[in-house]
Structure 1
């Protein structure tokens, strides 16, 4: 591996050197730059822009506009040219022909105005929009803003529909079959574990989401965490001016009722821009779990049949507000404050039958769990963006502070019965409280400079400090009095500091662009199991290289290749050795000795006509952290934890293609095939060397008729193998319809998720001493009605400020 990478670096160095020599001997060239706008003079982002020779319309170069609608062509010799712009849903647009002479080093092309591709169908005006799925140079984008299904759904439910993304029964997110995904909100990592992230995403209204970006091979500019890449959820950038906003009200019903309301406001006066969002909601949901398992001991085999009903109620209040102030044309300072105030109540009823044969039980027990959890958080960001010159030289700073206070009060009442229903023994009453505090500080700086017309330099540094304090206080009933339970009471304190820096260098040739980067991260951590007097200290320095090469074969054919190395540090909750009980025979426990895992990823991509995208990927993860089930032959308990296995090899192919059947009927299909192989020389007393091929297909149909917009989406995932778990197939169908009223200010949307109520999470594991089958059914079939009203003026773009708090938030534990 190291030899191959060294050779690759030599190749990149040769390419850069050859480019520099050629540049010294080349003719004087010009940089042509310009801007693309719509008919309302608003910038058009990520449109295709092509430089043509005026005499014969032959293609010279092609590129994409950035998020400000700007584009640039480098290294253009003297001649007569014109520029063509195209994007989905708009008519092609051209500039007038213009002359570039040999004495000009920079030329501003005329502004391009592009018009929407409107067409009349039986007296109804139909305006094409961005496709649901788009493939860009380094990422796949799901345009949620245009989706009927976005209304009424929360962010987690929308994320489950993104290409190649799955969410399992424990809310772990996978991309192309691989776990270890890093989730960002507006380019800022969430600093939350799977459980807390799920709670946050469930409380985020889908109508506030603009798009979801899936970045499977990130550059050195991003934090090195996440072995299967990054999911970036982009919230809407309000482009209205003056005082404006929107109000969304949503109601949904399946087996239980849920509702949410959100209000967004923006105001701009002179150089000051204010923005804010308030949201509240109630989520009621049911989760059914059946577990069949058996445990072998020296003298006998015990069979367990467990049925659990989990009723969950979440009430949340979220807020986000901030401001930007332009001190000059080149400098903008700002701040953002986010807060969360969530209460969660869990009422679980579990019945477990025990016997020496599967058919007959010798006894059974009922466990009633009453759990109240609170989540309080506040995050603040101060930022400064300084444009040093007009050639793209810029400097930015971010300072972030986040504090989480989570608390859980739980009661476990277990009653024991004989097969005839009579009492078998005295009941067992347990209680516990688990206050948790997490504090995060981060400082980040980024610098960008255009060294030459074709050579771009980026550098940055970041420091983060994290402290978590978890105190489990457990009690057991003793003759009517609750006393301290020393077998469960524990305190775990974790400190972590990470210092990081990166360098990126990008070179553009006529049809090829190359970017090479290197990121270094030094980690120092201390895990202190206070009650058990166990201290785990670690210090390590890691380097994370990345290389990206993109080449345009012709107007319709593009290829790319990329490589990156990444790390996944254990989530804070996975390090915490506390036990979280479903009943006395089923619980979850952390592992303070978990090590970080490292992944080397390669990806080859091909794009045809900017629409059909094919990617091939391979990655190898060492010390892979994997969820496993262990058994205690003495207590008969089965518990879930995480262990480091030897390695994971992952192969995948993804094909995405939009299509048009008729003027009123468009669609998109995304197919992913993957194979994963896990290896461990020693696991539960045996060797693990298992893998299985699997696939996922997602198809979406969009319809426009008589003023209505409709969408139908279907998803199928085949059975797959993950570690010691076999996961059964999953499939579902969703549909929705919407229409606008009151001059498009009021939008009404009706949708149904999982129409046929087919989505289930069924898992089995039969490895060494583990023998169990799990059948889980969440409340997935929901009918939703959503009303959205937009109000205010429209001209000046409001702000959606990004911050610098990155990797650490992604590892916080909470409920949900």
Structure 2
């Protein structure tokens, strides 16, 4: 099948027509479906009530589930002809895995489960330790029913192998351009709002986190790597839910209250979650800037800034799956986040001294701003299964709307060396950003052979973003102060894409390869000028993953991909936003998209040890750099493109169960990082490079005879590194987490301490040519958290043991 991506002026009509014609000509023959029934008993021939019976394909992929009735009898309907694996579980006990051939209705002999001595009055959720699976193109971190499920999703990401959280930004292998998905659906909101969304979302719903190291061609080429948060679903009909409460104490307290609800009927699966957070956060910064005059330092400006943020946030999400018939199903999802009201109050005291340390003058700034954030996203998917096993077509649509409104009052008083007021500068800013994003995608999957799967599809997405600003009250005589009084910046983007991929799985080999093409048109208009910024480009994005198992102990994997990162709409915004009287944030409408090539080779031993060497080169990477303007005595936070961003190194991972109560994970990474950037004043291209390291050590303990007490210990160390034109000193963090379940595991209390020794803050310097400044960021990284969760409803409907395939090479 051929995929054609039209160039400018030919918007893919031929390709779309060809695909639609192909689909219309496909003959759909209704297959006969069958029923499998039987009985589950214990070793004393007694029927087991509410035992879970799971039906999987030969690759151990879960297809359907059922529960036994009062007589221990189960029935699983609507099964196509084929070969399957069937097993039953009850508490911590399982039956044998039975291979069955289905060509008509099947009545099985009894499934026998040997019960242990410990029995509870009723079926309950069994907790376990997190596990890690290594696939050809991803790492799967299984956290369902672990102690980590007592927190929020952001806490899980902090514990996820390979993921580093730096200043609330997600980093994987040195890259911060990470796409976050929920159940395969990309969350299209700014990074700061992703933090708020995931921090306010319960982790109890999470089955696993997939760190996708080589994203398949079906996903957008946008961003670097992907994190996919997989939410668990009920397998059997019924209802249950939970309520939870979490209190966090740092310098200021924070509080979260939420509830989850799950329902599964014969054709309907519904999940609804809601949480409310009330926060008060403190960030403190110390900026020291040595300003130059005639190539020598003439003034030293020291700013002490305190930033207090108060907000109330509501998170509401819903997931609905409806089975129309055995071949067609609909899925509707909605993810919503509302922050209203919010307030950011910034105070900063700036002392100006000469090179001898004598006071020259000072000024004090108050920045009081109120803001509201509204984000809503809707996803609708239709899935059609053809008669041929595994052949399907999916139509997916998405609409996302983001609205950010902010009002700011900034007041500055200037003082002489005696503390007398010499002047003031007060002004008001009103700004906003509204972004609408819509997309439609069609995917076709066809198992062309027993060991090969062909995937192909088309996608269109359109984005409109409008930023507005009005500012008044500025002192126009102050050097460097020349903001836009009123302006509107419109940005439109259209992306048309097509892809084809082939996934192969043989006895000892896995080979996944794909090619994606994306044609992009962008147009930016600022109403205060007659100029517009317009771009058109066509890019190809190949990907390749190969894994070979030499035997049960040794395997080798190679990965390669090329991807693109497009600037965030707020980064393209050309307006100036003043944080204080001498610090300003500026976007750049001329930012270019960044492309990234990545290649790695990984060796694994006993599924316990792995060594990976990797290299990536990112061209036109964009970054917010701090630049001192020596003529106007301003600190400018500028969005710029780097000349290059190169990283190469090695990573060692160790994942092992040391005892029946102690699991551990160790990551050691050592790599070279080089950022080349253009000096704003001279235009010279400079290199900022370093050899650096990262260490991560996780330990998971399951304690007490009934295995109801859990303790997790995380240690992280990052050596000095570079970011754009900055150098950052080393940091380390120790986090302790505990969880105790009781009341037959319906309730749980959790306790944790983040950054025990308070060593997780960042000190950065910029020292080159006429730049000499430093920043010390002191966030509330040391946190004390306590939480409580209670589950109600029919908790018997949950999987009491999630079986995993023991063969990592079976599927991806």
Note if contact 1:90-1:128 (Cα within 8 Å) is conserved in structure 2: no
Q: 1:460 matched to which residue of 2? A: 457
Q: 1:509 to 1:132 in 2, by over 3 A?
A: closer
What CA deviation, in whole Å up to 9, does each residue of 1:127-180 have, x standing for no partner?
78343543233212333445535534x4334423333333333x4322122222
Per mean C-alpha deviation after superposition, the further-off stretch among 445-454 and 495-504 is 445-454
SS in 1 for 2:251: coil
State the alpha-carbon separation in 2 of the partners of residues 69 and 268 from structure 1: 13
Residue equivalent to 1:739: 740
- Structure 2 counterpart of 1:267, from 263, 266, 271: 263
Checking the alignment, whether the CA contact within 8 Å between 2:64 and 2:235 is kept in structure 1 is no
* Residues 678 and 127 (structure 1), Cα distance of their counterparts in 2 relative to 1, 3 Å cut: same
CA drift of 1:490 comes to: 2.6
Measured in 2, the distance between the counterparts of 1:537 and 1:109 equals: 66
Residue aligning to 1:295: 291
Find the aligned partners of 1:421 and 1:274 in 2 and give their Cα distance.
64
1:346-357 matches, cutoff 5 A: 346-357=344-355
* Aligned residue number for residue 723 of structure 1: 724
What is the correspondence of 1:513-662 to structure 2 with a 5 Å cutoff?
513-662=510-659
Q: Please state how far the C-alpha of 1:420 moved relative to its aligned partner.
A: 2.5
Within 5 Å, give how 1:299-698 maps onto structure 2: 301-343=298-340, 344-357=342-355, 359-423=357-421, 425-476=422-473, 487-680=484-677, 684-685=681-682, 686-698=684-696
Q: 1:34-53: per-residue Cα shift (whole Å, max 9, x none)?
A: 99x999435499xxx9xxxx
Name the SS for the 1:506 alignment partner.
strand
Q: Secondary structure at the match of 1:176?
A: coil
| Partner Cα separation in structure 2 for residue 111 and residue 571 of structure 1 | 59
Q: Deviation at 1:720?
A: 0.9
Residue 41 (structure 1) aligned with residue 52 (structure 2): yes
* In structure 2, C-alpha distance between the alignment counterparts of 1:212 and 1:673, rounded to whole Å: 24
Moved more, 625-634 or 326-335: 625-634
Partner of 1:66: 61
Report the Cα distance in structure 2 between the residues aligned to 1:729 and 1:90, rounded to whole angstroms.
44
- In 2: Cα distance, 1:295 partner to 1:110 partner: 83
2: CA distance, partners of 1:489 / 1:260: 39
The CA distance in 2 between the partners of 1:378 and 1:133, in whole Å, is 33
Structure 2 CA distance for aligned equivalents of residues 94 and 489 of structure 1: 72
Q: Report if aligned partners of 1:474, 1:485 keep a CA contact under 8 Å in 2.
A: no
Unaligned runs of 5+ in 1: 1-33, 50-62, 71-80, 799-816
| 1:489 Cα deviation after fit | 3.3
For the Cα contact (< 8 Å) 1:579–1:590, is it kept in 2?
Answer: yes
Are 1:254 and 2:250 counterparts?
yes
TM-superposition CA deviations, 1:343-364 (whole Å, max 9, x none): 2211111111112226232111
Q: TM-score, normalised by structure 2?
A: 0.82
Residues 158 and 95 of structure 1, relative CA distance in 2, 3 Å threshold: closer
Over the aligned positions, Cα root-mean-square deviation in angstroms equals 3.5
- Verify the 8 A CA contact 1:523 1:541 in the aligned structure 2: yes
Post-superposition Cα deviations, 1:202-248, rounded to whole Å, max 9, x if no partner, equal 33334443332211221211111123x11222234345632211111
Deviation string, structure 1 residues 280-326 (Cα, Å, up to 9, x no partner)? 11121111111111121238622110101111112111112242221
Structure 2 gap segments, 5+ residues each: 1-35, 41-47, 66-82, 119-123, 800-812
Distance in 1, matches of 2:790 and 2:661, equals 26
Instruction: Point out which structure has higher relative CO (alpha carbons under 8 A, 6+ apart).
Output: 1
Distance 1:364 1:111 in 2: 86
Q: Secondary structure at the match of 2:774?
A: strand
In structure 2, distance between residues paired with 1:520 and 1:620: 20
1: CA distance between counterparts of 2:305 and 2:159?
Answer: 28
Deviation at 1:594, TM superposition (A): 0.6
Contact 1:240/1:797 (<8 A) preserved: yes
Match of 1:178 in 2: 175
- State the distance in 2 between where 1:712 and 1:739 align: 15
Please name the residue that 1:151 is paired with.
150
More deviation, 231-240/410-419: 231-240
- Structure 1 distance, partners of 2:560, 2:758, is 41
Q: CA deviation at 1:613?
A: 2.8
Residues 42-101 of structure 1 deviation map (CA, whole Å, 9 limit, x = unaligned): 5499xxx9xxxxxxxxxxxxx95335489xxxxxxxxxx99999x9x9899865799x9x
Q: 2:128 aligned with 1:129, yes or no? A: yes
Contact 2:125 2:745 (8 Å CA) reproduced: no
Distance 1:365 1:97 in 2: 78
Task: Specify the SS of the correspondent of 2:195.
Answer: helix
> Which of 154-163 and 460-469 deviates more?
154-163
SS in 1 for 2:473: strand
Q: Distance in 1 between matches of 2:507 and 2:309?
A: 58
Partner of 2:784: 783
Separation of aligned partners in 1, 2:183 and 2:505: 28
How far is 1:460 from its partner?
1.2
Match status 1:765 vs 2:766: yes
Instruction: Name the CA distance, whole Å, in 1 between partners of 2:112 and 2:244.
Output: 31
What CA distance in whole angstroms lies between the structure 2 residues aligned with 1:360 and 1:44? 79
Q: How far, CA to CA, are the matches of 2:176 and 2:435 in structure 1?
A: 24
**Does the C-alpha gap of structure 1 residues 795 and 412 become closer, same or farther in structure 2, counting only changes over 3 Å?**
same
The offset of 1:556, in angstroms, is 1.5
Decide whether the 8 Å contact of 2:545 with 2:557 is kept in 1: yes
**Partner SS state of residue 502, structure 2:** strand
**Contact 2:646/2:675 (<8 A) preserved:** yes
Give the Å deviation of 1:671: 2.1
- CA shift in 2, pair 1:558/1:64, >3 Å: farther
Question: 1:477 and 1:687, CA in 2 relative to 1: closer, same or farther beyond 3 A?
Answer: closer
Superposed CA deviations along residues 402-454 of structure 1, whole A, max 9, x for unmatched, are 1112100111111111233221x222111111122111111111110111212
1:679 offset after TM fit, Å? 2.8
How far off its partner does 1:109 sit? 15
Residue 202 (1) aligns with residue 196 (2): no
Q: State the distance in 1 between where 2:462 and 2:84 align.
A: 52
TM superposition shift of 1:273: 3.0
